[in-house]
Structure 1
C-alpha cells in the first residue's frame, strides 16, 4: 500500500483520539473553573475573546482542509491536520486564562471534529436522521430537566412548544386539527416540496443550524420556517419583495444586519447571514409577545406591528384563541400551522413512513481548474447518486454567483467532498467535460439558416459569405454579461476585462456599449 494511502487511512482515527483527549481535558478545565460574575468586559478583554474565537475558527477550517486532503490520498494532509489540532490546544489553553472567554463554547468545535472523523469513514454518517438520537429528538424521563434549557435567552425557552422532549409539541399536534391538516398537506400534494426542502437544508445545515443551536432554539423550527418560506432555495424571491432562504423584506433585513455589502451583493440570499438574522428576529418578537412562539411566527409572516397590536388588545391569549386567530389575515392563519407541521415531520419522519433523501453534505472547497459556470458544472458532474444532480446545492452554497456566469480559473467554490471528487473525475478533462462546455456555449440564434447564396461542402450547406463579426455590442434589456459572452463565443471574464467590468457581479445596464475584442466566431 502506498504511503499516502496509509496516511489517509490512519489520520482520522489518530486525529479522533487526539481530539477526544483534548476535549476531555477541556471538560475538566470547565468543571474546575468557577464561572466569573456577569460583568461588562473591557474593550481589551472583548478584543482578546474575539481574537480567540477567530483563531479557533481558523484552526477548524485548517483541520477540515486537511480532512479533504487526506480523503484525496494527499500525505500533506496529515501534517496540516496535526498542526490544526495543536493550534486548537493552544487556543483552549489561552481561553482558560482569558477573562470572559468560555471554554464551553469552544467545546462545540471538538464535537464537530469528532463527528467529522466519523463521517470520513461513512459517506452517509453526516446525514441527519431526525428520528435518531440527536438532541432535538431525545425524550426525557419523568421529572428530568432539559440540559439545554439553562443559560439560554428567555425567548429561547419559549421554544418549548417545539421541544419534543417535553411532549408539549406531541400534544399540540395530536389535538390541533389545523396542524394535522398541515401535516396532511405536506404528506400529499406538498410531499415533493418537503423532500426538496430537506435535501436543500442538508447541504446548508452547517451554515444555518449553529446560529439556532447557540441561541437555544430548536432545529425543527429553523427547518419549518425555511421549508414554508423558500423550500430551501436561497435565491427565492416573493412578489412582495421578500428574498432569500428565510424570506426577509429588504427594510426588515436591514434592521437585522442584512442588505447590500461592499460588492453590491444582497446578503438576504446568504444562508449563513439569513439564519443569524432570523434568530435575532425571533428572539426579539418572542420577547415582545409573551414568549409565544406561535405569535412570533404570525409576526414573521403577518407583520410585527399587527402582531404587537393584537397581543396588546388581547393580553394573555394565544394564537389559537378565536379573537386573536381571526384578526390575522388568511395567509398567516395558514402559515403558522404549516410551519409547525413541517417542524413536526422533521422530528418524527418514521411515524409517518417518511424516508428523507440521503445526501453526503460534508463541506469542501472546490478550486476551478479552468473557466466554468455552475450550469457547466451541473452538466459534467452528472447525477452522482442524487435524484436531481448538484445545481441547487452549488447555487445554495455559492449565492453570490449567477448560474450562467463563467467564473475564472482559480475561483474557489463552496462544495462537498462528493462534488470535489466528481469534479476531478469528470469536469477537468475528457469527453463529458467537453460536452458540458459545448452545451453551455451553444447559441440558438446560430441554428437559424440565413437567406443568401449557399454552397455545398461535403453535403453540408454553409453560407458562401459569412457575415463579419461585430466589434461592439449594445446591451439589451434583460441580458447578462454571461449571456452576451455565450452569444459571441467568448469567456465572461475575458469580456469583463475588455470592458473594465468588475467581478463577481459583472453588473451591466441596458444601452451600455461593450467591446467584443477577443470574441470568436
Structure 2
C-alpha cells in the first residue's frame, strides 16, 4: 500500500467557507486571557495531530498495518480541533486550516502522474462528499482536492434533469426521506465491496446507489413476490446469466453484496452497449425487461426514453422506476443543494474471530446502539448474508464487521454484564413462563353437607370427553433455518425437553440441516 492510499477527509463547503473567513482584529483584541490559553491549546493540538499524521504516513510507507489506523486517528483529532475552534471565542480558523491544507497538498503533489494513478482529468465518478475507506487502493486524495471547486459530476451529463426527476427528488425528500437515509447508511457499510466493482467497469457510483436505494433500500435479504432477491433484486434466470444463484452450500449468491454489485455492473454495461450508452433506457431494461427496451429503442429510431412514444411503451412501474433511480442518484451527488445531511458512517471494514458461539440477534443486543439510530443488526446481516439472524454461529468463526463493531464486540460481547444479559435474553424460553397446574390440583376439595339436601343440589354434569390427541411424528428432520426454539413451538414441546431427548447442550443447541431429532414428549398442535 502506498502512502497515498491514506485519505484526508474532505471538509464540507460550509465549513471550508467558514475557515477561510478572516477574524476582525478588533474582535481578537477583546479575547480574554483564558480564551487565549484555550486558543493556544487548540493550536498545540493541531500541530501534534499534524506530526502524528506525518509519522503515520511513514508507517504506511513501511507497510506497517498500524499506519492506516494512526492516520485516521490523527485526522479525527484535527477535525475535533477545527470543530472546537468554531465555538471558541477569538479562534482564527484560517490558521488552523493551514495544517490540513499542507497535508492535502502534500498528498496530491506526491503523486507522479494522473495516468499512473488512474485518475481521469474530467469530472470524477465518485463524489468527494461520500469518500470512505475502500478495500481496493483508490486514489481519493486527488478527488478530495477538487472539493472546493464547483465541478459538475459526470453523471449530471449522462441523464436528463427534468420535471419527472424533480418529482422523484420531491418524493425522496418528503415521505421517502427515512428510506433514503436508511439506504445511504446501508450502502456506506457495503461500499468497500460494492463500489470497486462498478468503478473498474467505468460506471457512476451514483447510479449504483440509486438502483440499490430503489430496489432494496440496501437490505441484502430483500425479496419480491415475483422472485427477485438481494440488494440489486436479480430474478433467478437473469442472475444465472451473470453467475448468481445457489452455490452448492445452500446459499444464494444473489444475497452477496460483492457478487450482486459485479453482476449488476456487468448487466448495465451489457444493456448500455446496444442502447447507445443511454442510462434511462438501460434502467428501463433493468426494470421493464431487456427485450422490451431493445424493441422500443429500435422502433423509435433511438429516441430518448422521455419521448412520448417511447415513454408510453413502458408499463407504469417502469415509468416510475427510471426517474426515481435518477432522483436518488442526483441527491447522492448533490446533498447540500437539497439540505440533506447524510449520516456519517464509520465503515472501515475488518473481521472478528468469534470468542464464543453466538447469533446475530445476540450480537445486536450486546453491541448496543453507540451513536447509531438502529443499532448494528442490519449491518451485521448485510455483511454476513450467509447467516440467519437467530442461527448459532460456532466459536472460532470469522465474520465480517467494521472497526467500530469489532471494538464494541471486544468490550461488551465477549464477557461481562452486557454479554451475560444478551445471552440470557437470547436463550429465554417462552414456554418456561407458562405455569402448569399440578395433577392433584385438578380435584377441588368438596365439603360434606346434610345428605337430605343432596337431592336439591344441581345434578353433576360430567365434563365432555377430551378430544383424542393428534398423532405426532416420532422425529423431525432439521431444515435450513430451523432452530431448537422454532421446532419446539411447532410440536408443542419445551426447548429443554427436546434438548434432553437429543443430547443437545445449552446454550448453543447446535443443529445441522438433515439432522433427525427425536420428538419424545411432544404433541402435535
**1:139 & 1:10 partners in 2: Cα distance?**
28
Secondary structure of 1:474's aligned partner: strand
What is the Cα deviation at residue 473 of structure 1? 5.0
TM-score by length of structure 1 reads 0.64
**Which aligned pairs between 1:223-302 and structure 2 lie closer than 5 A?**
223-302=209-288
Task: Check 1:438–1:495 CA distance in 2 against 1; reply closer, same or farther (3 A cut).
Answer: farther
Confirm or deny: 8 A CA contact 2:133 2:348 kept in the other structure.
yes
Q: Does 1:338 align with 2:324?
A: yes
**CA deviation string 1:33-87 (max 9, x = no partner):** xxxxxxxxxxxxxxxxxxxxxxxxxxxxxx7698679999xxxxxxxxxxxxxxx
**2:68 & 2:501 partners in 1: Cα distance?**
37
What is the Cα deviation at residue 288 of structure 1? 1.6
Secondary structure of 2:324's aligned partner: helix
What is the Cα deviation at residue 440 of structure 1? 1.1
Task: Check 1:281–1:493 CA distance in 2 against 1; reply closer, same or farther (3 A cut).
Answer: farther
Task: Check 1:308–1:209 CA distance in 2 against 1; reply closer, same or farther (3 A cut).
Answer: same
Q: Does 1:203 align with 2:189?
A: yes
Q: Does 1:481 align with 2:470?
A: no
Partner of 1:434: 420
Secondary structure of 1:172's aligned partner: coil
Q: Does 1:218 align with 2:204?
A: yes
Task: Check 1:166–1:208 CA distance in 2 against 1; reply closer, same or farther (3 A cut).
Answer: closer
Q: Structure 2, unaligned stretches of length 5 or more?
A: 1-49, 74-112, 119-130, 135-139, 442-471, 521-525
**1:267 & 1:305 partners in 2: Cα distance?**
25
**2:303 & 2:270 partners in 1: Cα distance?**
19
Task: Check 1:386–1:367 CA distance in 2 against 1; reply closer, same or farther (3 A cut).
Answer: same
**Which aligned pairs between 1:74-93 and structure 2 lie closer than 5 A?**
none
What is the Cα deviation at residue 172 of structure 1? 2.8
What is the Cα deviation at residue 444 of structure 1? 1.7
What is the Cα deviation at residue 285 of structure 1? 0.2
**CA deviation string 1:78-132 (max 9, x = no partner):** xxxxxxxxxxxxxxxxxxxxxxxxx999968xxxxxxxxxxxxxxx9759xx9x9
**Which aligned pairs between 1:341-490 and structure 2 lie closer than 5 A?**
341-453=327-439, 473-474=475-476, 480-481=482-483, 483-484=485-486, 489=495
What is the Cα deviation at residue 474 of structure 1? 2.6
Q: Which has the larger radius of gyration?
A: 2
Confirm or deny: 8 A CA contact 1:373 1:406 kept in the other structure.
yes
What is the Cα deviation at residue 483 of structure 1? 3.5
Task: Check 1:290–1:10 CA distance in 2 against 1; reply closer, same or farther (3 A cut).
Answer: same
Confirm or deny: 8 A CA contact 2:392 2:510 kept in the other structure.
no
Partner of 2:300: 314
Confirm or deny: 8 A CA contact 1:401 1:504 kept in the other structure.
no
**CA deviation string 1:162-188 (max 9, x = no partner):** x7247536x832xx1110100000000
Task: Check 1:137–1:341 CA distance in 2 against 1; reply closer, same or farther (3 A cut).
Answer: farther
**2:278 & 2:145 partners in 1: Cα distance?**
22
**2:365 & 2:69 partners in 1: Cα distance?**
23
Partner of 1:172: 160
What is the Cα deviation at residue 478 of structure 1? 9.8
Confirm or deny: 8 A CA contact 2:478 2:517 kept in the other structure.
no
**2:511 & 2:149 partners in 1: Cα distance?**
48
RMSD: 4.3
Confirm or deny: 8 A CA contact 2:478 2:512 kept in the other structure.
no
What is the Cα deviation at residue 431 of structure 1? 1.4
**2:227 & 2:260 partners in 1: Cα distance?**
15
What is the Cα deviation at residue 21 of structure 1? 9.3
TM-score by length of structure 2 reads 0.63
Confirm or deny: 8 A CA contact 1:441 1:489 kept in the other structure.
no
Q: What is the number of equivalent residue pairs in this alignment?
A: 378
Task: Check 1:479–1:250 CA distance in 2 against 1; reply closer, same or farther (3 A cut).
Answer: closer
**CA deviation string 1:10-51 (max 9, x = no partner):** 9975452365699xxxxxxxxxxxxxxxxxxxxxxxxxxxxx
Secondary structure of 2:401's aligned partner: strand
Task: Check 1:265–1:205 CA distance in 2 against 1; reply closer, same or farther (3 A cut).
Answer: same
Secondary structure of 2:517's aligned partner: strand
Secondary structure of 1:377's aligned partner: helix
**2:156 & 2:149 partners in 1: Cα distance?**
8
What is the Cα deviation at residue 290 of structure 1? 1.8
Counterpart selection for 2:513 from 485, 501, 507: 507
**1:232 & 1:71 partners in 2: Cα distance?**
26
Confirm or deny: 8 A CA contact 1:441 1:486 kept in the other structure.
no
Q: Comparing 446-455 with 346-355, which one deviates more in the overlay?
A: 446-455
**1:305 & 1:446 partners in 2: Cα distance?**
57
